[in-house]
Each structure stands twice: as C-alpha cells, then as structure tokens.
C-alpha cells in the first residue's frame, strides 16, 4: 500500500496538458487559457475625466473667474478643439480630456450660467483625471496561461479587444463501468442486480472538473468485454474504470487489460474508503481504475480524478484544496490508512466552519455521501481528537461534486 500523496504524485507525473483550441470569447468562461491574453490596446486610450464637470486650465479657474463653455466631451465623443485661456469644456465621466485642459473642475464646485461656468471652489492641477493606460497598456500581459477564466476575465479579455481565446481542449475522459450485475437507471434489473450509479456520478464529476466525459457501455465481468471496451477508449486522454463488485475485480481488470498492453504502476493505496486503486498505462492511454463501491469510487475520484482532470486541462498540478475546520464531535485514533470521513458542515457562533462526522460511515451508503458537506481528512495514525479540534476538510459542493 502506498500513501495517498505518493499515489497522486505518480498519477500527475504521468499526465500532460491537452493542446490548444480556439473558442469564441463568449464560450471562454470556465475554460483554461493555453496562451496568455495580452492587451491589444491601451485603456483608457487617452487621459479621461473621472467625474462629471468641466475641463479647464487650472491657471484660469480661480474662484470668481467666468469661463466660456466652448463644447462638451462625453464618453466616446471627444471634443476636437482646444481649451484656450478663459475657456472650459463640459466633460463627463470617461470623456477624453481636451487638449489645453490640465484639470477637471467638479460639477458641484461650479455654477453654470448662460454658456459660462464660474468655479465656486478652485481646482487643483491634474485632479480627477484618469491617465491613459491607468487600467492597462498595449502589450501588457493581462491573463496568464493556465488560468481558469472567470466572468471578470472574460470582461477583461473583451476590453483588451479579443474576440477569440486560445484554451486547452477539454480532456476527454472515458468512463467504463464493469460488472454483469449492474444496469443503467430505467433499464431492466437482473435478479439480484443493482442500478449502476458510478458512471453518471463520475461523468458529472469530470464535467465539474472541466473535462468531457465519455460514458462507455457497461462491460460485463469478463475479459473480452473489458478488453473490447478499453479498445473503444483509445482516443481518450484518460480511461477510468470502476470495477464490478465481483470477486477479484481488480485482478479481472488487470488480467483483461494485460494482454492489451496494460502496464500497471500501482494498485493499492493506504486510504479508507478506497484501498484498491489501479494506476497504469494502456498503450499510451493513462488508466485509473476506481473501486466499484459507489462511495469509494467517488472519494477516490475527488482525490485523484479531479486533480488528474485539472492537470490534463492545463491547470497547475496538485491535490484538491482543503480548508481548516473544527471537529463537531470527538473522533477516535486512526490506524495506518488515511481516512476520509463524511461529515456535515455548519458554522459556529463565531462564524468558524464546523465539520461533524456522520455516526455511520459504511462505505455502501451513498445517501450519506450525497448529504455530506465535506470529507474530514484523518492522517494515518492520527491520535484521538476531541470535539473542537482543528482538522482539514475537503469541501465537496464547492468542487461541484
């Protein structure tokens, strides 16, 4: 059995980001930049007013002066003339500062009268002016490669005049559920069989992590079926299997895939739930074999498939993020396996995050998994922890999982 951290390192080391594709700016949200976005223009393009008022020459604009208003400069409609001695131009927020003017007299510091304006407060030089390039200048790198694009980023790329973006292709992740006792929802259920929940839960998780899931037909628990389905997944960036619940399921996947050129890296991890986990390479396609148990499959997917999908998508490689929380009730000492304990999240009176483990953690209980706000991470050999202890948690809903 190898530790969780080592398993993740070995998985991530075997994966490379997908290549780039061009998408319309409007389709860029949530995608990962493959190339930086640089500014194609300067913003603001020229000095502009930060307020509504009058563009004036500071030397003319003492209290009591009377300036002739010779034009207006609203945003987008620059005044083409020049502010000469004794003159002013009406200006609005975002309007270009006309030639000759060196400050902005605020509207509330001015009295307008009959084509003229009188300062009631003397402006200081250079006030209320946004200088050209205050936001960015042509050539500035605005968004780095490897960034997941937010709505704000889309706005910034638009402002920098990009109708198109170069993003990483969404990694295509094949999902192969095995087992002759499982059916898809709504299909006839064989006697003693169960409805398969893994494939579509994992597909949703892949989507949440930015990948493109490809749900393969269920493969019965025999070598030919598994080998055939694996063949169909050759165009995937990653193939994920989830075992049937039959005996020796992992041996079966390995035995079925071995003749197809499967090279095993490891297959046991010191964690709970989810000890049996296959990692290897199927003739150039990385293969992640998850347990068949739905809770184990989901926990392993959070810990390994989300980081793998992110890595393939061009995001930085690393574990899923954890947050500090306080234990809502005591927990016993842990054994040598790293434990991921389903817990409810709440806030205490001081606003701190509290994680309370569910009393029953049986790994067959998918309902408890769906109800959990977080997984409490318990390190191997962690001592007993009283209520109120600091723990690390993996928050599930913020992962979309």
Smallest gap, in angstroms, from Cβ of residue 382 to a copy of itself? Answer: 17
| 3 state SS of 178 | strand
Nearer to a copy of itself, 205 or 282 (CB): 205
H or E segment and range at residue 12: helix 4-13
Cis amide linkage into residue 273, ω under 30° from 0: yes
H or E segment and range at residue 165: strand 164-168
Smallest gap, in angstroms, from Cβ of residue 297 to a copy of itself? Answer: 8
- Is the separation of the CB atoms in 28 and 167 below 8 Å? yes
In a 13 Å sphere around the CA of 209, the CA atoms on its Cβ side amount to 33
Q: Enumerate residues 6+ apart whose C-beta is below 8 A from 367.
A: none
Smallest gap, in angstroms, from Cβ of residue 121 to a copy of itself? Answer: 19
Smallest gap, in angstroms, from Cβ of residue 298 to a copy of itself? Answer: 6
Helices (H), 314-381: 366-371
The label of the residue with tokens 């202890």 reads: 389
| 3 state SS of 53 | strand
Nearer to a copy of itself, 63 or 194 (CB): 194
Smallest gap, in angstroms, from Cβ of residue 252 to a copy of itself? Answer: 12
- Rounded CA-CA distance 100/383 in Å is 74
- Rounded CA-CA distance 360/367 in Å is 11
Smallest gap, in angstroms, from Cβ of residue 220 to a copy of itself? Answer: 11
Nearer to a copy of itself, 198 or 334 (CB): 198
- Is the separation of the CB atoms in 89 and 54 below 8 Å? yes
Smallest gap, in angstroms, from Cβ of residue 261 to a copy of itself? Answer: 29
Q: Which of 254, 240, 338 is nearest to 298 (CA)?
A: 240
């Amino acid at each position: 059995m190898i530790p969780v951290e080592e398993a993740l390192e070995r998985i991530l080391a075997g994966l490379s980001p997908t290549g780039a594709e061009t998408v319309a700016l409007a389709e860029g949200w949530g995608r990962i930049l493959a190339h930086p976005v640089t500014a194609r223009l300067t913003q603001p393009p020229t000095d502009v007013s930060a307020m509504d008022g009058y563009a004036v020459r500071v030397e003319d604009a003492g209290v009591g002066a009377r300036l002739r208003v010779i034009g207006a400069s609203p945003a987008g409609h620059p005044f083409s003339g020049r502010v000469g001695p004794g003159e002013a131009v009406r200006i609005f927020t975002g309007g270009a500062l006309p030639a000759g003017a060196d400050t902005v007299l605020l509207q509330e510091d001015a009295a307008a009268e009959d084509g003229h304006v009188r300062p009631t407060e003397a402006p200081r030089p250079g006030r209320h002016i946004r200088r050209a390039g205050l936001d960015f200048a042509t050539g500035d790198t605005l968004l780095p490669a490897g960034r997941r694009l937010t709505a704000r980023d889309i706005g910034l790329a638009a402002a920098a005049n990009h109708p198109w973006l170069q993003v990483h292709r969404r990694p295509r992740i094949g999902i192969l559920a095995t087992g002759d006792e499982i059916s898809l929802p709504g299909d006839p259920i064989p006697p003693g069989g169960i409805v398969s929940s893994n494939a579509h839960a994992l597909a949703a998780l892949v989507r949440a992590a930015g990948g493109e899931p490809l749900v393969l037909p269920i493969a019965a628990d025999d070598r030919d079926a598994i080998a055939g389905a694996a063949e169909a997944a050759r165009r995937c960036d990653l193939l994920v299997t989830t075992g049937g619940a039959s005996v020796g399921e992992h041996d079966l996947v390995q035995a079925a895939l071995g003749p197809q050129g499967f090279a095993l890296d490891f297959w046991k991890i010191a964690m709970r739930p989810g000890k049996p986990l296959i990692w290897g390479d199927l003739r150039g396609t990385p293969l992640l074999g998850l347990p068949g148990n739905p809770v184990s499959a989901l926990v392993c997917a959070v810990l390994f498939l989300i980081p793998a999908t992110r890595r393939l998508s061009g995001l930085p490689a690393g574990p899923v993020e954890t947050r500090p929380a306080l234990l809502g009730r005591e927990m016993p000492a842990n054994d040598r396996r790293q434990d991921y304990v389903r817990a409810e999240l709440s806030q205490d009176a001081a606003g701190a995050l509290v994680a309370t483990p569910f009393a029953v953690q049986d790994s067959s209980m998918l309902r408890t998994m769906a109800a959990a706000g977080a997984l409490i991470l318990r390190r191997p050999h962690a001592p007993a922890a009283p209520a109120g202890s600091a723990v690390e948690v993996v928050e599930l809903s913020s992962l979309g999982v």
